[in-house]
Amino acid sequence: ASQVEKGKELELKEQFDALRREHTETLQELQRAHEQEKLLLAESHHRSEAALQETIQALNSQLKSFQDRMKRVEESLLRTDYKKHIQEHGSPSPFWEQELESLHFVIEMKNEHIHSLDKKLLHLETVEERNLLLEEKVKTLQQENEDLQVRTQNHLVMARQLSEELQAARGALEKEAQLRDQARREKEELLYRVLNAGDGSPFPMAAGEVPLIAT
């Protein structure tokens, strides 16, 4: 019986140690994955910043190019149109000539503005898609972190339960050992009295030994 009890205690201890090892390995694995994902996000963020900086530089270059084109419009295109109009219809009055010049200028500006808005819209759509991807990654990391906390808490609860069960098993084994010692002592005392009946000699006890009382 003692061998069975020791085997049971050893089995409980092995289960507890295995669970503790599994908990430690799982926690380390999740932490490594979490740190790796954070590094990937940081790299992606840096790449996005670099891409945005390049886009800003490109937009500044486009703005300068636009300003140069507008200057060419003012200096060449409108004058060409005016000369052609004068050749075909004669010279208009100063008022209508100014109105026509303003109209051509506004039309060119509107066309350039529309092209610029189209490019900006395309860029904003691209940036929005990147932001959505980053938000999804952040949500995924947050969920993994919450799952990690829950799993850690569950492992701690199971570890405490196994520890309590192991402690209870040890207490039960100690109590059972005390009861066996008491039964053996009582059996030896009874046998001694039967064999030495009538001589009045007391049952010998080892030094420091006291009778055990069943609880």
More confident residue, 171 or 102: 171
Distance CA 135, CA 145 (A): 15
For the record, the structure tokens of 33 come out as 């994955």
Distance CA 59, CA 119 (A): 9
Rounded alpha-carbon distances, angstroms, from residue 51 to 85, 121, 125: 47, 16, 14
Judged against a pLDDT cut of 90, whether residue 178 lies above it is answered with: yes
Distance CA 180, CA 172 (A): 12
- Residue carrying structure tokens 């050749």: 87
Mean pLDDT of all residues in 169-198: 87
* pTM (2 d.p.): 0.33
For the record, the structure tokens of 73 come out as 């419009």
Q: How far is CA 116 from the centre of its chain?
A: 40
CB 38 within 8 A of CB 77: no
Percent of the chain whose pLDDT exceeds 70: 77
Q: How confident is the model at residue 10 (pLDDT cuts 50, 70, 90)?
A: confident
CB 12 within 8 A of CB 165: yes
More confident residue, 202 or 31: 31
Q: In terms of DSSP H, where are the helices of the chain?
A: 2-72, 78-89, 94-195
How much is the mean pLDDT over the chain? 79
Q: How many residues does the structure list for the chain? A: 215
First-last CA distance in the chain: 20
Rounded alpha-carbon distances, angstroms, from residue 120 to 3, 62, 63, 131, 138: 81, 11, 12, 16, 27
Judged against a pLDDT cut of 80, whether residue 41 lies above it is answered with: yes
Q: Per residue in 83-125, pLDDT tens?
A: 676 677 666 666 666 776 677 677 777 777 777 788 888 888 8
Q: How confident is the model at residue 78 (pLDDT cuts 50, 70, 90)?
A: low
Mean pLDDT of all residues in 186-207: 72
